[in-house]
Amino acid sequence: MMGVGVGAPVLLLGLLVLTVHCARIPSTINSDILRLPGPPLGEDFSGDVWALLIAGSAGWGNYRHQADVLHAYQVLKRGGVKEENIIVMMQDDIAHNYMNPHPGKVYNKPNGQDVYEGVPLDYTGDAVNARNFLQVLAGKKAPKVIGSSGKILKSGPNDRVFVYYADHGAPGILGMPNGAFLYADQLLSVLTAKSEQGGFKDLVIYVEACESGSIFQGLLSDSLNIYATTASNAVESSWGTYCPGMAPSPPPEFNTCLGDLYSVAFLENSDKNDLTEETLLKQYELVKRRTSNNYTYNMGSHVLQFGSLSIDEEPVADYLGELNTGDGSGGLSASNELFADGGMGSVPQRDADLLHLYTAYQRAATPADKAAALAVLDAEIDRRRAVDDSVRSAVWGLLQQPAVLAQLQTKYAAANLLLPTQQLLGNSADAAQLQALIVEQFVSAPLPREPGLALVDDWDCLRAMVGAWEGQCGQLDQYGMQHTRTFSNLCNAGIPVDTLASAAASACTPAAPAA
């Protein structure tokens, strides 16, 4: 296996975190769209409000995603949305987790209210997967799942719909606690069909995930009456917040993050502000400011909007409930202290998964406990490094194949793309450094492509690439899923799927022990 070693996971102990720098992309895929006037604020409509909320993760280290979703339910319920119209999907392994210092309770902010109480969980455990989510969203037929409510999104042409997803993401995909990933084209296919079949008057979808801009970029038409916002653009992480050691920090008994930066921004805005007067556009602007840490993007991401932008002239209450009239505090405004120098502490989503392991090590009471906690943390870092090295080794193996190299030379003849030459196949230190740079082009960023296009031209190719990798190297988890960037690059370059399968087999097969 080639020891490229570039891009190993970074955890700077003492809560120093990796700041993700990335090129800013347009705030919408339809930057030249004419923003048509929306309806007057508070305009009556004859339909109902429906909501579908899903946390796509499991495990104590992902506490924050379920906390976000539970908080969203409380906002909708307080707003007067009918309970029978709210569908909640989550693993439900946090409230009664053995690590929970407050059994049966979940908090989304330091010293906040319990957001678990009273939430009817419609789909839990194994029932929370991509297939069931899409079936519930389509609203045509209830999934046959034992122990779940069977509720589906039965919205009609006069109804407004709010969809909220919180979890890990990666280029072109959203995570699920069980089964396969949710691919962007699958989500857009269901949303498009529901729109064309009169499944709603307007639909608003908020997505909290890394690279979540890739879910809608180049895919969501402005003609479907669908308005989407995402926590990040197509090439960057989203961020966890209310984490141990940060400001604000959770109570000392917690060793995990309580929320996500984009999510708590819109949820706490919804708690405080009069949503009958605040438009979706105003909320978007406030959330963007808070999530970017006052536009510094220092420990923050680029919140984006997509689709039918005229919808953002409507009041937020039309989707979160007309009884959400604020708590009298004035809400999040330009003068709010959360926008002061430095903003809120936050950590990239994938590093947040390590944070509770480091916190456990830091707080261990005895030398034996400390050694055990450090061993768990080191093992996870080593596992992540092995995933990264395997992907890079497979890419380098591909680049040494004459047929692949010829395909790339033809495809990117006009682009400034570094490709191997005979001089780079040696074992010198200079050659190794150049090899790492060449590989990194395929792993860490999109290959040259026209702006505004969807992540990949052929989504079936991307699914096949993921399948080929997992068939040789094991299932991609919430860390490894970021390598869909690599697989999408290979698809767009025209590299055959079976070629990756062969390279993956070599990269992931342990070397035979020396005789």
Find the CATH number of the domain harbouring 216: 3.40.50.1460
Residues 58 and 193 both lie in one domain: yes
Residue that terminates a domain, selected from 346, 374, 398: 346
- The answer to whether residue 501 is domain-embedded is yes
Q: Ramachandran region of residue 324, left (φ > 0), alpha (ψ -120 to 50) or beta?
A: beta
Q: How far apart are CA 104 and CA 268, in angstroms?
A: 22
User: How many residues can be counted in the chain?
Assistant: 515
On whether residue 455 sits in a domain, the answer given is: yes
Residue 412 lies in a domain: yes
Start-to-end CA span in the chain (Å): 18
Q: Which amino acid is at 476?
A: L
- Strand (E) or helix (H) holding 348: strand 346-348
**Whether residues 129 and 263 fall in one domain:** yes
Q: Which domain holds residue 137?
A: 49-346
**Nearest in space to 453 (alpha carbons), one of 216, 212, 222, 170:** 216
Q: Are residues 451 and 318 in the same domain?
A: no
Verify that 60 and 188 share a domain, yes or no. Answer: yes
SS3 assignment, position 202: strand
Which among 346, 372, 406 is the end of a domain? 346
Partners of 49 in the β-ladder: 160
**Number of structural domains in the chain:** 2
In terms of Cα–Cα distance, which of 124, 111, 122, 2 is closest to 50? Answer: 122
Active site residues per annotation: 168, 210
In a domain, 197, yes or no: yes
- 437 and 336 share one domain: no
Is residue 489 in some structural domain? yes
**Pair 3, 389: CB distance under 8 Å:** yes
Pair (221, 286) in one structural domain: yes
Q: Examine residue 117 and state whether it is found in any structural domain, yes or no.
A: yes
DSSP type of residue 84: G
Q: How far is CA 13 from the centre of its chain?
A: 24
Long-range contacts formed by 388-391: CB under 8 A, 24+ apart: 388/7, 388/8, 388/9, 389/1, 389/3, 389/4, 389/5, 389/8, 390/1, 390/473, 390/504, 390/507, 390/508, 391/443, 391/483, 391/486, 391/507
Rounded Cα–Cα distance for residues 165 and 82 (Å)? 20
Give the pTM: 0.89
What is the C-alpha radius of gyration for the chain, rounded to an integer number of angstroms? 23
Query: What single DSSP character describes residue 47?
Result: S
Residues 6+ apart with CB under 8 A from 166: 54, 55, 56, 64, 65, 66, 68, 69, 208, 209, 260, 263
Q: 412 and 282 share a domain? A: no
Instruction: Select from 296, 330, 346 the last residue of a domain.
Output: 346
Residue 138: inside a domain: yes
260, burial (CB in 10 Å: exposed 0-12, middle 13-18, buried 19+): buried
Task: For residue 253, give the amino acid letter.
Answer: E
> What would the two tokens of residue 506 be?
């070599």
337/388 same-domain check: no
Same domain, yes or no: 61 and 178: yes
Among positive and negative, which fits the CA dihedral 61, 64, 65, 67?
Answer: positive
| Together in a domain, 119 and 252 | yes
Q: Which amino acid is at 269?
A: N
Q: How would you write the pLDDT of the chain (515 residues) with one tens digit per residue?
A: 344 433 333 333 333 333 333 332 333 333 222 233 344 444 555 799 999 999 999 999 999 999 999 999 999 999 999 999 999 999 999 999 999 999 999 999 999 999 999 999 999 999 999 999 999 999 989 898 888 999 999 999 999 999 999 999 999 999 999 999 999 999 999 999 999 999 999 999 999 999 999 999 999 999 999 999 999 999 999 999 999 989 889 999 999 999 999 999 999 999 999 999 999 999 999 999 999 988 999 889 999 999 999 999 999 999 999 999 998 765 554 334 444 444 568 999 999 889 989 999 999 999 999 999 999 999 999 999 999 999 999 999 999 899 999 999 999 998 889 888 755 556 667 778 888 999 999 999 999 999 999 999 999 999 999 999 999 999 999 999 999 999 999 999 999 999 999 999 999 976 544 44
Token couple for 347: 């950590």
Q: Are residues 394 and 275 in the same domain?
A: no
Residues 244 and 390 in one domain: no
